[in-house]
Structure 1
Amino acid sequence: MTRLGMVFLAAATILITVSITIGITFAGSTSAVNTQNSNRSRGDDGTHEERGFFSTLKDALSFSRRSPRTISDFLNRKTPVGDVFVKLKLAKAGDTILDDPQFHTWVTYVDDFKLKYKQTTSMIPTLAAHYNDDALLMILEAAKKSVGMEKFATRLKGELVQWSMATWKHPATVFKFLDPQIAKEMPQILTWVKYVDDFNLKYPKQATTMVPILTTRFNADALYKILEAVKISKDTKIIVPKLQAQLTRWAMGAEMSPTIVFKYISPGLITDLLQMPQFFTWIKYVDDFNMKHPQEKTSMVPGLRSLYPDTGIRILLETARKSENTKNIATRLETELLQWSMATGTSPTEMFKFFAPKELTERLLQMPQFAIWLKYANDFKAKHPGNDAAASLAMMDFYGDKAVFNMLETAAKTTSTKTVAAKLQKELWDGWLTKKTLPSYVFEALALDEAGDTVFSNPKLSMWINYLNMFNKENPANKERMVSSFHNNYYTEHFWRITSMAMHDADKGTANIAKRLRAEKIDGWLSNKESPRDVFALLNLHKAEANLFSNENFRIWTKYLDDFNKRYPDIKTNTIQTVLASYSNEELVKILVAAKKSPDTEKLATNLQRSLLNTWMRELKDPAEVSKLLKVEMTDEMMKIYVKKFNWMMNSSTGDKVFDKPQLPIWLQYVRFYKAKHPGDDKSSIAILTAHYGDEALANVIAASKKQPILKELAQNVEADQLQNWLSSGKSSEDVFRLLKLDKTGENLLGSPLYQTWFAFSTKLISKPNQVEKVTRFDTLLRIYSEEKLSAILLAGMKDPSQEKQARQFGAILYQSWIKRKTNPEKIHKWMNVKEAAADSPEKLFYTNKVTNNNASDDGPLTTQKQ
């Protein structure tokens, strides 16, 4: 190797070694050096020169003279950081100091020195000895912009701020070192604010104000944020008045909008405003601003609303009205509020809260502020005719309907307020109608729900009825019945008691209202299909006991029973069945005995006793038990008749006809009758019923009873016995289908009540263990019907929403069977009623293509087309 080559090799080795050392030494303190100018150096003439390999090599060789060992010696000898700065030749580094590797060596030395000797040594005094304030700021800005030096820049800025304050630098100088990002720098800004105050106290001849300095960097909004932060900080609270005064003077001097200026004088609590001279100064400023800038004319309202909610402004108004010194401000603010709200289209309802006292009395109508607001409501209504601007509705929104209605009623009786009260009352009723307020709501608004026994004598009732009639006339699709409001507010027993009192009132109008209410009540029960048993309990008759038949509600109930049986003959009942649901046989006998002693109820009791005996007869109650219940001897004429009928029932073959009525409870009584008549017969109940009535008739009665809530559970139990009976006797799916005569139902098969019975049986049959042949429901249908007939049944079923799902399920299976057997498309078209369609019609092409392509992936037309 040549001599020159050896020199290059040695230099490169030194450079690499130094680079590694620098990287290791400064990784923890500065991360990296400034890379913006890393390849350029400033010449003596101010121009930039490229720093190539040889320049870097020179620096490295120079640096090698200050090896880590030398730095270590400095540290051990406790060499001051300022001296090391000079020894590393950094005093001559100029504005490229961040590019100099020796600078990073020195920064690390400062850190090590602080750590070893536990001293709060800072870089800044040394740097300040060689750089002026502007140069230090340039170094800080360069560090901020250098990639990888963020942490160092933060540290440098913090030490600069601390040093500048510690050395009592001018506040403007200190401020330069702060970051312009207000959210990031708020803690240091607060420190600076405190520093300015301290500086002014220490150097009064050099005293300065904060705002001119702050405005060099922050706008009006940022200044408000600073002010709010100053208010919160315990260290700066005392400075708030000074800063507020400075900001206010600055904003006014700059002729900023009154809204911005107001933010600077705000005390926090709106109740303190009237105690602040600044507030009155601000009001004058609003006037001055409007004179100078008529095109930007404003008022107090935007400023107040910028900081305080409506509730705060309302409190300000209430406070201002109480003092003679501030009444004029209240009046001005009221006027400006209404001007602002009219311009912004704010409704009277929204504005009423500013003018309403907390407590509502008839004095409201005489208050000056109410008159001002009422005029606004009228003006607003004229300007915005489509909007709901009724003054009475705004009042009700604030105080509640009941309170306003009662206040207006009282005010209408006072000479000074009756005119305005009458106008507002009319407006109230019209407003309710316009808003389509439900009569049931108005009923409560008039406090009729609290009237109790005096509701029919309350004059508000006739007002409400008039409203009800008008509402129903204007809203025929949403009519309300009179009884609805009574039903919601008066329990049933109370309702019948007060209507009974009203029906006996001398005033025919009151009596007619009571009759109408009773008629609507009963009609409502009938429409809802309330059972006589439930109504019996609603009328509290289940607790009447000995007074049952003399109770006025019993006559109401018997009328309801007659109406119910006429409207619903399939589920009609009788008095005895209902009474026995609430009273035992013994209790009912006592009631009848007592009733027979009164001339008013004797006839009724006698008839009911006869009905009771007939009921016991159908139950085959033993004569001895009946004699004991009635407490009469067997020789009694009534008992002789009972015994005669009982023996006839037990011994006559025609006795069976008593149980021919198609009602499940009666049919179950037949089982009891049969077993009493044939004590040695061990047939099951279901076998007895089937033998007497037949499978189809029994299934029909079960299906009908399942629709009645009171009989549903009983019917389900009997049905379960019937299905099990068929299974035990080895009936097939087809057997039961024909037993129920479902094959005679035509195209309405799926709609037949007995179809569900067969469906339930076939489900049990398929799931039966050890069933040799698993015949599906569809298989059964194909055995009974031709494909043409079955298609017609399924197509008919698809037209009924209740049958559609089942029809489409069977349709899918039928379609797949056609595809599998390649049934002639012409037949299918005929069965599907599309035989007259054109050859290329979608209906014909659909199935034909499926057969041709032998593709059975689609469920087919019977499941996809809507019939």
Structure 2
Amino acid sequence: PVTMAIDSKRKLSYVHVLLATLALLICASEALSVINANKLIRSSVPSRRRHTFGRRLRATVDDTDTNYDFEDRGFTGITKIKDFTQAGTKKLQKLAESAKTKLTSKPTIDQSFKQFKVHKVKSNVFESKQFQAWAKSVAKATKNNQDAADTAMLATLATHYGDETLASIIDAAKLVTSTKSMATRLENMQIKQWMDDGDAQLNKWAADGKTGDVVYKLLRIDTEGSNLLKSPKLKTWMNYMTKLHKDPYDVLLYKLKPHYDDAGLAKMLVLSKKDSAAKTVAEKLETLQFEKWKNNEKSVADVFKFLKLNEDSTTLLKNPVLNTWVAYVEKLNKNPYELLFSAIKSKGFDDVELAKLITAAKQDMHTGAIVGKLEQVQFQKWARDGKTSGDLFKYLGLYKAGDKLLESPLLNNWLSYMQMLRKDPYAQLVFTIKKSGFDEIDLAKIINTAKQDPKTSALAGQVEKLQLDKWSADMKSSEDIFKFLRLDKEGDKVFESPVWGTWAAYLNKREIDPDADLVMFNILRNKFGDEGLANMVTKAKQVESTREVAEKLQLELWRANAHSSDYIFNLLKLNEKGNKILESPGPLSTWVAYVRRVNSFNSNRGKFQPILLLEKRFGEKELAQMFVNSKSRHYASKPGIIENLQEWQFKKWMVQKKKPGDVNKMFPSEDLTSLQIKYEFKNFYKENVDILMI
């Protein structure tokens, strides 16, 4: 029996040694390098130097424990073995890293902590000469590896002081400029270690009798501010509260009360629900808050008041906290929008003032949905009161707006009300404005003016869409609208007409691109003739506001006269530029636009035709060199034309199945131009190889 006991004990020791060896092998390289470098903190007693390595092997044994035998070295018993084997590979790696740290520094760092008498410092520990000297010695021992030094120091400090005392020491050190950086690093590392240890750390706190308040402070959760609900530290604390069989949400809500009033807490929860990392916690806290209000018999009016929603009615509809009140009212199975409408009206706001508040808040990111439903309550009231389109138009003061109609935000309310009544808003608008002496042409002029103002452009675009949709639904042709807008009476001032933009917009809506330009050209040509239109185009090109449309019509005039691309090239005097053609981006852009327009009915041919024609004139490689050289000299006064042409040359190469290697062969020289071509094509190829479909 004695022999069997000895054998069993030896077998157990072999297991210990085997596992310890495996852990040590993982970190052996770095550990041995540190040992061989002989950089560890040495004892000041000479006779101890030769024993440093031997003492290091017993890093897992407490210095005060002298009652151990050989069989317990390396691991401290069956419990360690069990934990080790159950944790698997990750645990092994973690223990290996721990063993590495301990091998390199733990015994001597613990000794030097006492040697420098850090443990005798009673206050301002980090500022003391003893601590500073110890910190320098640890830095030297860890070869100035800050992470390793911090890890070693934290282990010693935590062992000596314990979690709570160390936390207080760190807090004090963070208030001093000279020690703030180190204290912050150690604090972050300490918290990270606790969080990484997960359930094991929670069990340790529970075994040590740590309360939820203590752990809350240890994790510094109260320093998270507005980020509290999405902090990973909060999750650790909540898990600990669950382990203590307490409702973490109930405790958290209680802890937040001293820092937030009801309005502040509600705002934080509303904003946190927008963040995916905090949404779940925020929603549960809000639900708990509602339950407490309900259990305490808080009325809708009570909550409205202590959320401070009654303090400023002008900003009420943009207050994020309004979401909390609405949700609580719904929890009580009441209609919050009816109650909100009544609450605002009770403050002395009439329908027009309320409509203005609604319009101003409809696009608010926090309350827009609520405001939209409030608007429906107002519409329903108007409908019950029998308000017609004309009644409301007058009631909202829109009759008085005149040609400033689209500057009134209340027009949007009126249009929405028409839609709720299932009436054609455009037809109702035209019918109503006629009573003020306006017609559709006047409305078109008002729209075009309003489109130029950023403040009114959105509403103007909305009304213009209604106008164009109505004409399109009535099957009005482009020529019908040309005459309806009396553009046929404008003569050579047609491009300057305030309703020209309306007709151009209708062409773009009705005609299929690129035929919109062709339809415009044909209608104008039929009205004014080739010579008359040519003269109009010439004049229009001299005016900034009409130059763009004139240039488009110029292309159609050339095309109608069947001019070749070579003829236009010469007409624009590009033939006189030679290889400096890219120095004239204006005429070049016009020629490119003409070539593409001529070939617009053959999309595949049209795409590459300008490049093919230019390569025919200058050569493929020479043109590529011209692009690069011209870009470097910044000749392009019309941004984009050179880059655009180069891009189409690159696309053509890719269609021809050319790869960067093929282009490298095209430009074997190592001059700057060739290198730039190869570099730019390589990048273009990389970005477009998977998506370019031509």
| Normalised TM-score (structure 1) | 0.33
Q: Choose between structure 1 and 2 for higher RCO, CA contacts under 8 A separated by at least 6 residues.
A: 2
| Normalised TM-score (structure 2) | 0.39
- Larger Rg, first or second structure (1 or 2): 1
